[in-house]
Amino acid sequence: MALGIWILGDRLTTKQLSLQNNQDNKQQTPVIMIESSNYVRQRPYHRQKLVLVWSAMRHFAQELKTDNWQITYETASDFLTPLNKWIKDQQITELQITTPCDRPFLKYIQSLDLNCAVTFLPDQHFLWSRDEFITWVKSRQRLLMEDFYREGRKRFNILMDGKKPLGGKWNYDQQNRKPPQKSLQTPQPLTFKPDAITRSVIDLIKQEKLANYGKIEPFNWGVTRGQAQAVLTHFVQECLPQFGTYQDAMITGEYTMWHSLISPYLNLGLLEPMEVIDAIEHAYYQQKLPLNSVEGFIRQVMGWREYMHGIYDYQDEDYAHNNWFEHHQPLPEFYWNANQTEMNCLHQTLTQVEETAYAHHIQRLMVLNNFALIAGISPQSIENWFHSAFIDAYDWVMQTNVLGMGQFADGGVLASKPYAASANYINKMSDYCRNCKYNKSDRTGDQACPFNFFYWDFLNRHRERLKSLGRMNLVLSHLKRISDEELAQITFLAKQWWATQGSKDY
């Protein structure tokens, strides 16, 4: 029986079982990695996403080769042709693959007509396995992230004082999320100059026109595990102390604030979640950092990330088609071209995504997603856009974040109420409204901010549905104070806005 290993592009870790189990036999174990141009043409990916993934794959292959693995690296149009040729040449009878996190990719691999047996090995890239998460779900009456997070803290003994949370509280969010202040000194992100490998991928993508969204350069992302570790160290030293306080703030031209920028590396396997958590906890004890920042960050990785992945695994594939509000408007063209909108918050955030393939959580949730939600855009089309546009996007993280959290398309599996907001929130948490042609305070009239008329129209349109969610009652009570005449004007503006986008069906 001859064994072969196929390393997938988002599992760039030597800790995966197929490599671990064959450490003592590496020179006799063929390993293959494949870049498929057909596969990446399935979506209009951001150019930098392709550069990151292919450059990181090529670097990882080089590291395996240096470590004496018998590695074959193929660039091909499809996966099947090079796979079957390699299986034949190497006389492989069993192909081992780490189970992909993304359901569509797993189904795709299962559909390949391979000339040998295939064994899927468990993916160990998350702290909770699928079975462990489901056991937790079955023990609960409600699926609250906060409950899951506390369970994780106890289970992995992180920020604990015996059986109690360190500092006496599980969650220090009330000390976080301050609005931006004038003259904040934000840290510079750690950037990397493309080396010869990265340059060759940039040239290839340009030549072959493999992607056409977003700027390809400057490309500042790390592409190796060493660089990913350096980003983590930089974050701990330069950003972590202030991370919590300004976690939700948005400032024009400040792309990264105190955020870590580690999601692309975690999602590719270049960083492990527990090594991130350990580094943060260690820094807390060594450097006596503020607990609100440390706890706030650990909650992101140990709580939100694991929870989003667990819920994705727990739901079936129909989750992708959910559309609780029955929203069907098409995605406006400006999501692909920031210059086509004069809404400054969207213009700034979309410009940033074009330049870097990155935006931080609140820009994603409360600007990009919020607009799609209140304007009635189809959840699947905004999910498709996010999946294409972001450097860290994969099916497992898209569905729960965009469909569940952002669009409330699952009707409340994940969130207890929709994240819908007017200009009031954006003005409080950013400086975008100061330089906008729209008036942040108006919901009717020539200068009315679209976030305002769409927000009130959203509440009005879905009034009955929203009543069923207890947490919306306070907001709905504000709706009652708006006169029928003003509501009619609001609806008129919303319809007119869509008509200017070429859609009359709103």
What does 423 interact with, of ligand SF4, ligand FAD, none (CB < 5 to 8 A by kind)? Answer: ligand SF4
* Cβ distance to ligand SF4 smaller for residue 301 or 366: 366
- 3-state SS of 247-311 is CCCEECCECCCCCCCCHHHHHHCCCCHHHHHHHHHHHHHHHCCCHHHHHHHHHHHHHHHHHHHHH
Interface with ligand FAD by CB under 6 A: which range of 49-57, 158-166, 384-392, 469-477?
384-392
Q: What is the dihedral of CA 425, 430, 431, 436, to 10 degrees?
A: -50
Q: 390-420 in b/e burial notation, b at 16+ Cβ within 10 A? A: bbbbbbbbbbbbbbbbbbbbbbebbbeebbb
Binder to ligand FAD among 92, 210, 266, 353 (CB under 6 A)?
Answer: 266
Which residue's Cβ lies closest to ligand SF4? 436
Interface with ligand SF4 by CB under 6 A: which range of 181-189, 339-347, 483-491, 498-506?
339-347
- 3-state SS of 414-470 is CCCCCCCCCHHHHHHHECHHHHCCCECCCCCCCCECHHHHHHHHHHHHCHHHHHCCH
Give the Cα-Cα-Cα angle 140, 142, 146 (nearest 5 degrees): 95
What does 451 interact with, of ligand SF4, ligand FAD, none (CB < 5 to 8 A by kind)? Answer: ligand SF4
* Cβ distance to ligand FAD smaller for residue 184 or 479: 184
In a 3-state reduction of DSSP, which class is residue 72? strand
| Binders in 158-197 for ligand FAD, by CB under 6 A | none
What does 71 interact with, of ligand FAD, ligand SF4, none (CB < 5 to 8 A by kind)? Answer: none
- 451 near ligand SF4, judged by CB under 6 A: yes
Q: Which two tokens stand for residue 476?
A: 């709905």
- 3-state SS of 133-157 is HHHHHHCCCCCCHHHHHHHHHHHHC
* Cβ distance to ligand FAD smaller for residue 35 or 383: 383
Closest to 336 in 3D by CA, of 317, 358, 351, 315: 351
What does 39 interact with, of ligand SF4, ligand FAD, none (CB < 5 to 8 A by kind)? Answer: none
Could you tell me the end-to-end alpha-carbon distance of the chain, in angstroms, rounded to an integer?
61
| Binders in 86-105 for ligand FAD, by CB under 6 A | none
Closest to 377 in 3D by CA, of 443, 327, 313: 327
Distance CA 33, CA 71 (A): 8
Binder to ligand FAD among 308, 345, 357, 415 (CB under 6 A)?
Answer: 308
Distance in Å, CB of 43 to ligand FAD, minimum: 13
- 393 near ligand FAD, judged by CB under 6 A: yes
Closest to 390 in 3D by CA, of 104, 132, 38, 52: 52
Distance CA 257, CA 187 (A): 7
Closest to 389 in 3D by CA, of 438, 420, 356, 422: 356
Non-local (6+) Cβ contacts of 422 within 8 A are 443, 449, 451, 452, 455, 456
- 259 near ligand FAD, judged by CB under 6 A: yes
| Binders in 395-424 for ligand SF4, by CB under 6 A | 423
Binder to ligand SF4 among 145, 449, 493, 494 (CB under 6 A)?
Answer: 449
Write the single-letter amino acid at 488: A
- 346 near ligand FAD, judged by CB under 6 A: no
What does 438 interact with, of ligand SF4, ligand FAD, none (CB < 5 to 8 A by kind)? Answer: ligand SF4
Q: Which helix (H) or strand (E) holds 226?
A: helix 225-234
* Cβ distance to ligand SF4 smaller for residue 438 or 456: 438
List the x/- string, 403-432, binding to ligand FAD by CB under 6 A.
--xx--------------------------
Binder to ligand FAD among 108, 120, 304, 314 (CB under 6 A)?
Answer: 304
Binder to ligand SF4 among 429, 436, 493, 494 (CB under 6 A)?
Answer: 436
Binder to ligand SF4 among 8, 301, 308, 433 (CB under 6 A)?
Answer: 433
Distance in Å, CB of 503 to ligand FAD, minimum: 22
Residues near ligand FAD (CB under 6 A) are 259-263, 266-267, 300-301, 304-305, 308, 360-361, 364-365, 369, 386, 390, 392-393, 397-398, 401-402, 405-406
Footprint of ligand SF4 (CB under 6 A): 343-345, 423, 426-427, 432-433, 436, 438, 440, 449, 451
